[in-house]
C-alpha cells in the first residue's frame, strides 16, 4: 500500500508539471497554426505536401498537450449526476468507424445504471482511451467486449476485453508510465490520464493481460447517492 501511495504521489507531481508545460505550449501553438494556415493560402500548390506534414505534426502536439491538460484539473468540484451507460454507448458509436477499419466487432452488454456524480467528459475520455487501445491491439481484427453492470449496491463495474496482442509483462508492472508507446502514432499518455481520472472518481482500475491472448481492463466506480 505504501508503494501505491508513493506511485500516486509521483504520478501527481509528474502530472502537474506536465500539465503546466502543456498549458504554456497551447497559446504559441494556436498562433503557429493560424499563421501556417495564412501562408498556406498564399503559397503555391507544389508546397502543399510540406504544409500537410506541418499540420499533421502540429496536430500531434495538440493531441499530446490536450491529454496532458487533463492531469492538471482537479475535477471533483464540478461533478455532475450522469448516466454512465449513456456515456459508454456514445463512445462505442464514436469509435464505430475505427472498429470497422480494423475489422473489429464491438460486442456490448450495457445494463441500465443509476446516475453517478462524475466528470462526464473525463469519463468519456477514459472509455475512448480504453476501447481505442483494445481496437488498436487487434491489427488483424477480432472482438472487443464492453460490459457495464451494477456489481452490488454501491459499485458499478465496467470491463473492456480484447483478443489482441497483450501488454508486455515489463510494462504491465509499470502501467501509466508517461510516453510509453508501442505505436507509431501513439502518445503513450492515454493510460496515465485514464488511471488519474479513475482515481479522481475514487474508483479502481485493473489490467490483466496475456501476450497474444488479449487484455482485460476492469473498472469499479463507487455509487454516490
Ligand atoms: P498509446 O495508445 O498512445 O500508445 P496508451 O497510454 O493508451 O498510449 O497505451 C500505452 C501502451 O500500452 C500502448 O502503446 C500499448 O503498447 C499498451 N497497451 C495499452 N492498452 C493495450 C491493450 N488493450 N492491448 C495491448 N497493449 C495495450
Ligand atoms: Mg491509447
What is the complex's ipTM, to 2 decimals?
A: 0.99
Q: Is the pTM of this model over 0.80?
A: yes
Q: Alpha helices, DSSP H only, in 95-173?
A: 96-101, 120-136, 169-172
Question: Average pLDDT, stretch 126-147?
Answer: 96
Q: What is the pLDDT of residue 62?
A: 86
CA of 133 to the centre of ligand 1 (A): 5
Spatial distance between the Cα atoms of 87 and 76, rounded to a whole number of angstroms: 18
Spatial distance between the Cα atoms of 58 and 69, rounded to a whole number of angstroms: 16
Q: What is the pLDDT of residue 12?
A: 67
Nearest CA to ligand 1 atom 3: 186
Q: Quick one: which ligand is closest to 179's CA?
A: 1
Cα distances (angstroms) measured from residue 106 to each of 95, 146, 191, 201: 9, 7, 20, 26
Site to probe by mutation for ligand 1, drawn from 133, 163, 168, 176 as the one with most ligand atoms within 8 Å of Cβ, is 133
Site to probe by mutation for ligand 1, drawn from 139, 144, 191 as the one with most ligand atoms within 8 Å of Cβ, is 191
Nearest CA to ligand 1 atom 27: 167
CA of 48 to the centre of ligand 1 (A): 33
Q: What is the pLDDT of residue 77?
A: 66
Q: What is the pLDDT of residue 4?
A: 67
The answer to whether the CB of 37 is under 6 A from ligand 1 is no
pLDDT at 30 over 60: yes
pLDDT band at 87 (very low <50, low <70, confident <90, very high): very high
pLDDT at 167 over 60: yes
pLDDT at 14 over 90: no
The answer to whether the CB of 125 is under 6 A from ligand 1 is no
Task: Give the percent of the chain with pLDDT over 70.
Answer: 92
Buried b or exposed e, range 14-25, using 16+ CB within 10 angstroms: bbeebbeebeeb
Q: Quick one: which ligand is closest to 184's CA?
A: 1
Answer whether 188's CB lies under 8 Å from 180's CB: yes
Nearest CA to ligand 1 atom 18: 167
The answer to whether the CB of 133 is under 6 A from ligand 1 is yes
Q: Which three cell numbers stand for residue 213?
A: 491472448
CA of 171 to the centre of ligand 1 (A): 10
Question: Average pLDDT, stretch 26-45?
Answer: 88
Nearest CA to ligand 1 atom 12: 181
pLDDT band at 83 (very low <50, low <70, confident <90, very high): very high
Amino acid at each position: 500500500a505504501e508503494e501505491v501511495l508513493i506511485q500516486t504521489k509521483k504520478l501527481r507531481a509528474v502530472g502537474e508539471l506536465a500539465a503546466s508545460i502543456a498549458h504554456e505550449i497551447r497559446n504559441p501553438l494556436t498562433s503557429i497554426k493560424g499563421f501556417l494556415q495564412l501562408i498556406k493560402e498564399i503559397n503555391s500548390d507544389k508546397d502543399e505536401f510540406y504544409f500537410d506534414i506541418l499540420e499533421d505534426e502540429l496536430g500531434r502536439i495538440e493531441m499530446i498537450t490536450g491529454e496532458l491538460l487533463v492531469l492538471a484539473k482537479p475535477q471533483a468540484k464540478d461533478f455532475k449526476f450522469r448516466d454512465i451507460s449513456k456515456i459508454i454507448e456514445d463512445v462505442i458509436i464514436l469509435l464505430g468507424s475505427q472498429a470497422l477499419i480494423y475489422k473489429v466487432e464491438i460486442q456490448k452488454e450495457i445494463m441500465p445504471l443509476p446516475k453517478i456524480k462524475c466528470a462526464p467528459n473525463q469519463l468519456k475520455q477514459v472509455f475512448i482511451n480504453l476501447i481505442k487501445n483494445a481496437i488498436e491491439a487487434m491489427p488483424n481484427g477480432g472482438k472487443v467486449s464492453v460490459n457495464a453492470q451494477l456489481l452490488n449496491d454501491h459499485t458499478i463495474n465496467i470491463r473492456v476485453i480484447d483478443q489482441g496482442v497483450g501488454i508486455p509483462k515489463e510494462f504491465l508492472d509499470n502501467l501509466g508510465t508517461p510516453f510509453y508507446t508501442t505505436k507509431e502514432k501513439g502518445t503513450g499518455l492515454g493510460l496515465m490520464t485514464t488511471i488519474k481520472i479513475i482515481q479522481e472518481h475514487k474508483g479502481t482500475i485493473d489490467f490483466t493481460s496475456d501476450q497474444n491472448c488479449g487484455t482485460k481492463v476492469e473498472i469499479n466506480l463507487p455509487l454516490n447517492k
